[in-house]
Chain A
Amino acid sequence: MKGGYCLGIESTADDFGVGIVSFDGDVLANVNDAYTPEKGGIHPREAARHHARVAGRVLAEAFQKSGVKPKELSAIAFSQGPGLGPCLRTGATAARALASYLGLPLIGVNHCVAHIEIGKLISKAKDPVTLYVSGGNTIVAAFEAKRYRIFGETLDIAAGNCIDVFAREAGFRSDNGLPLGRIVEERAAKGKKFIHLPYTIKGMDLSFSGLLTATINLLHEGKYQIEDLCFSFQETIFSMLTEVTERALAHTEKKEVLLTGGVGSNNRLKEMLRIMTEEHDAAFYSVSKEYALDNGAMIAWVGVLSYKHSLIIPIEKSFVKLKWRLDEVEVPWVDEDDAD
């Protein structure tokens, strides 16, 4: 099976993305439009309204950039879950419409699988322990017996969400489009004094809510410099993330670590993971922001992999799955020989 392209639509949360990827794994277009709330976190319905508004333009741009014509496509893929209901449904509706209009097979893609697969494609990692950490997810996963198994995850809120909420409490604004996490990172770089904060690990699972509350309380007490608070907050979160990744690495005895998701663009987190993996004689991989954040190309790429294994779903059964877990997904394309 050579030639052919898959179009993928990503719409699990605040991003609406469209990617077009060839069967050989060349990303020909990866267009994205993010919904930015005026205030506070993502409001699911507002985000969905945004997605519906920009869908036509983003799709047109993706076709234009890739030079691929709708008729040349072989399949349409969309993020079927996990995510926010209204956002998922908007992307799914667009995908179903395209698939039925063009008479193409429809493929439902698991968002978390897509993050791991695009990370592997771009970084060339073969069989990594993946730390996927973003505003909505915090997962440590690795391939084991036909599936991506979850070795650790958050027991309450995602690490990125924890950072965002703190940043908003601190009054940080992303006026110039800078992610809130980036502002925390910049402030943290100027911090010197380490303040002890709750550090909660249970097995390979993590909990951030106690840490968040404690840090916000200290913030309002006003006793500490904001730079020192950012520094300590970030150090504590990233040490927890690195520790659980290290535990998974030791447990699975794999030789690679892959970092992906929005929080993955933080340089301090990358540095910590690099030091840790070196101590275990393992290789560290990270992916550029374009592929670490939610994007359409990752959905299109898993669309390609699924298409080659005939994992196609009928339109009438293409309901979105809000809580679709990573370890429920069959990934027959992963080579058992690469994994040990």
Chain B
Amino acid sequence: MKFHGSMRMMLIKKGAEASLYLETWHGRKAILKRRLVKKYRVPELDKEIRIQRTKHEPSIMHKAKEAGIPTPIIYMVDISSTTIVMEFVEGKRLKEILDGIPLEERRKLCRHIGILVGKLHKYGIIHGDLTTSNMILTPEGRIVFIDFGLSEQSFEPEDRGVDLHLMKRALLSTHFAYAKECFNSIVSGYMEIMGEDKTKEVLSKVREIEKRGRYVSER
């Protein structure tokens, strides 16, 4: 039997790959994340992607908790309807607040992000979609990471480099005015966890990725 959720489900965000609904779960405010059928892709591929991500996301979110990164609590997973019900995290997305706060506070927040990313990487988790839209600042000052749909497990410098490269590019495209300053603070937090050598290794990967030629003349 498929899990449908209640009749009063309220759509709060239609993302690229999933829709988020506001729900109540045994009296608690909850988010219902449903990966919807994408008509543009063939059903075989569509089903595989949705099921794989629905299975993968909760387990890696749990693993992230082991590493000390706050992530929403999972209440329920239903594979047949590719649905996850999880804790509704009160707070604001960093994307909305990062530009409007004083310099010192922004630096502190970014350093905090760097510490969390460092912890993830040290534990062998690659988030896969590090953007300020995927981080929520709670009223108590915790930063909660969300959306682990594209995450993977790896200790490879290349994968860590891609992760930080994505973070950097997300800053450049969304917070252009402070991108550099923010990224530097993130790196300082990251280094606190990963140590200088590992950080340097990952940063040289980031540079390598940025420089990678788009032209392959001969193969």
Q: List residues of A whose CB falls within 8 A of some B CB.
A: 13, 40-44, 82-84, 136-138, 144-145, 147, 149-151, 153-158, 161, 165, 194, 196, 199, 201-205, 235-236, 239, 242-243, 246-247, 249-251, 271-273, 275-276, 279-280, 323, 327
B interface list, Cβ under 8 A from A: 14-17, 38-42, 44-45, 48-49, 128-131, 133, 150, 162-163, 165-166, 169-170, 172-174, 176, 209, 211-219
Judge whether A199 and B15 touch: CB under 8 Å: no
A246–B174 alpha-carbon span in the complex (Å): 17
CB <8 Å contact, B173 and A150: yes
Q: Which residue from B45, B173, B213 sits with its C-beta under 8 Å from A199?
A: B45
**What 10 pairs between A and B have smallest CB-CB spacing?**
A272-B40, A203-B166, A250-B16, A194-B44, A247-B16, A149-B173, A275-B40, A239-B41, A246-B16, A203-B129
Chain A residues in 8 Å Cβ range of B174: 144
Contact A242-B41, Cβ < 8 Å, known A13-B215, A161-B216, A323-B213: yes
Say yes or no: A199-B49 contact (C-beta < 8 A), given A43-B218, A145-B176: yes
The CA of A137 and the CA of B212, in the complex, are separated in Å by 12
User: Do the beta carbons of B130 and A203 come within 8 Å of each other?
Assistant: yes
Residues of B within 8 A of A251 (CB): 16, 131, 133
Check B42 against A194 for contact (C-beta < 8 Å).
yes
Provide a sorted-by-A list of 22 A–B residue pairs whose CB atoms are within 8 angstroms: A82-B215, A84-B217, A136-B214, A144-B174, A145-B176, A149-B176, A150-B169, A153-B214, A155-B209, A158-B214, A158-B215, A158-B216, A165-B219, A194-B44, A202-B128, A203-B131, A203-B150, A203-B170, A235-B41, A272-B40, A273-B40, A323-B211
Which of B41, B128, B129: most chain A CB closer than 10 A? B41
The answer to whether A250 touches B173 (Cβ under 8 A) is: no
